Amino acid sequence: MSYSPLPHLRRALVALLLTALALAAAGCGREGSPPVKGPKSSELPTYPVARNFTLPASPTWERARRRGHLIVGVKEDQPYLGEKDPASGRYTGFDIEIAKMMSAALGFPPATLHFTTISSANRETALQNGQIDYYVGTYTINGKRKKLVGFAGPYYLAGQSLLVRSHEKDIHGPGDLAGKRVSSAAGSTPAQRIQAQYPRTQLVTYDTYSACVDNLLTYQVDAVTTDDAILLGYAAKVPDELKVVGKPFSREPYGIGVPRADNALRLALDDALAADEKNGSWKKAYDVTLGLSGVPAPQPPPIDRYPAS
Ligand code: GLU
């Protein structure tokens, strides 16, 4: 056989073309296209769906049954907690796993869940006007909010902290914030605490924490304050540019928000959380999501089954 360079060249060109097509189909390699966010589906636990489950005392559950699926309010820009991949629309994170566990326990396959992004300031209204069935998104349980909505849980205990640029030398705790520009999300407990307890701070609120972090990176503000769980996720994404400083200075027990009058749903979710903490699902979910920001799985806080009022 005589040697001819042509078939080799043609094969190389075809291979190049195929690679380019595969990359284009996968959405990679295009300038500015972000990497896919969140763990792969194969890395996530699955939750057995309760069979023949009914909850006739819950108007929220009955409405979801007639509709055929649950609608859950979440966050979409909080790494390892609630994050939406812009290309696929898929949501991942610890809060998303909690939402899926609860769906399975209520008899709805998690794959049928409809997620909708609701910001910190709009959670109570979304639950009050029936836009969502329940809410899982770094939602602190407190007395003021309990007048407006119900809470199952808590399923996690966070604490308010501070995120600064990695070269920052002056800010180590909330006592160093006088005269500093500090941002947080509108309607959040950390924003309220800064206003009430550190009035010499120049508080700047945005709708989302990703907007707060963008403004920190571009020197519009000096720090971002919210729960350590949220801030550690942002810091883990760009460790060269951001760091979390000081010790947590509040207790933020995360609950699942439900319509206030729906005690049957609230107590069913408390039961489901207790079961998932016992059977290992809670820890498995934590390890593949929030655990990636560097903190090993803690003991979940005790569930507070408070009486109806
Ligand atoms: N956990 C706090 C809150 O519920 C801060 C996080 C958030 O805004 O979601 O207000």
Task: Report the CATH number at residue 214.
Answer: 3.40.190.10
Is pLDDT at 3 greater than 90 in this prediction? no
Residue 306 is assigned to a structural domain of this protein: no
Is 280 found in the same domain as 145?
yes
CB–CB of 285/98 below 8 Å? yes
Q: Are residues 195 and 213 in the same domain?
A: yes
Q: What is the pLDDT of residue 61?
A: 98
What average pLDDT score do residues 204-231 get? 98
Cα–chain-centroid distance for residue 175? Answer: 28
Same domain, 150 and 263: yes
Q: Whose CA is nearest to atom 8 of ligand 1?
A: 188
Q: How many domains does the chain have?
A: 2
8 is a domain residue: no
Q: Residue 296: what are its φ and ψ, rounded to 5°? A: -65, 155
**Confidence check: pLDDT of 1 > 70:** no
| 265 within 8 A of 271, measured Cβ to Cβ | no
Q: Which atom of ligand 1 is nearest to the CA of 140?
A: 4
Strand partners, 275: none
36-85 residue pLDDT tens = 677 778 889 999 999 999 999 999 999 999 999 999 999 999 999 999 99
CA of 188 to the centre of ligand 1 (A): 5
49 belongs to a structural domain: yes
Atom of ligand 1 nearest to the CA of 189: 10
Q: Which residues pair with 123 in a beta bridge?
A: none
Q: Where does the pLDDT of residue 119 fall: very low under 50, low under 70, confident under 90, or very high at 90 and above?
A: very high
User: Pocket around ligand 1: residues whose beta carbon is below 6 Å from it?
Assistant: 120, 137-140, 185, 188-190, 226-227, 252
Q: Give the angle subtended at the CA of 203 by the CAs of 80 and 117, to the nearest 5°.
A: 35
pLDDT band of 293, cuts 50, 70, 90: confident
Domain hosting residue 146, numbered range: 41-158+253-293
Q: Please tell me whether residues 234 and 265 are part of one structural domain.
A: no
Cα-to-centroid distance, 138 and ligand 1 (Å):
5
Label residue 25 by pLDDT band (50, 70, 90).
very low
Minimum-distance ligand 1 atom for the alpha carbon of 226: 5
Give a yes or no: residue 58 inside a domain: yes
| Residues 6 or more apart in contact with residue 14 via CB below 8 angstroms | none
Kindly report the protein residue whose alpha carbon is nearest to atom 5 of ligand 1.
Answer: 188
Determine phi and psi for 59, rounding to 5 degrees: -60, -30
- Ligand 1 nearest atom to the CA of residue 209, by list position: 8
Does residue 7 have a pLDDT over 90?
no
Task: Give the distance from CA 23 to its chain's centroid.
Answer: 29
- Indicate the pairing of strand 252-259 with strand 149-158: antiparallel
Same domain, 130 and 258: yes
Same domain flag for 54 and 117: yes
Q: Whose CA is nearest to atom 1 of ligand 1?
A: 140
Same domain, 130 and 214: no
- C-beta separation of 102 from 269 below 8 A: yes
Compute the mean pLDDT over every residue in the chain, rounded to the nearest whole number.
90
Query: In this structure, what token pair is assigned to residue 31?
Result: 């300038």
Q: Please tell me the predicted confidence (pLDDT) of residue 184.
A: 98
- Flag whether 21 is in a domain: no
Please check whether residues 129 and 224 belong to one and the same domain. Answer: no
Q: How far is the CA of 190 from the centre of ligand 1 (A)?
A: 7
Q: Are residues 130 and 262 in the same domain?
A: yes
Is position 174 within any domain? yes
239 and 258, same domain (yes or no): no
Per the domain annotation, does 2 fall within a domain?
Answer: no
Instruction: Tell me if 14 is assigned to some domain.
Output: no
Closest CA to 44 of 68, 80, 70: 80
Could you tell me if 144 and 103 lie in one domain?
Answer: yes
Residue that is last in its domain, among 219, 245, 271:
245
Residue found under tokens 């380019």: 20
CB atoms within 10 A of CB 193: 17
Residues 170 and 197 in one domain: yes
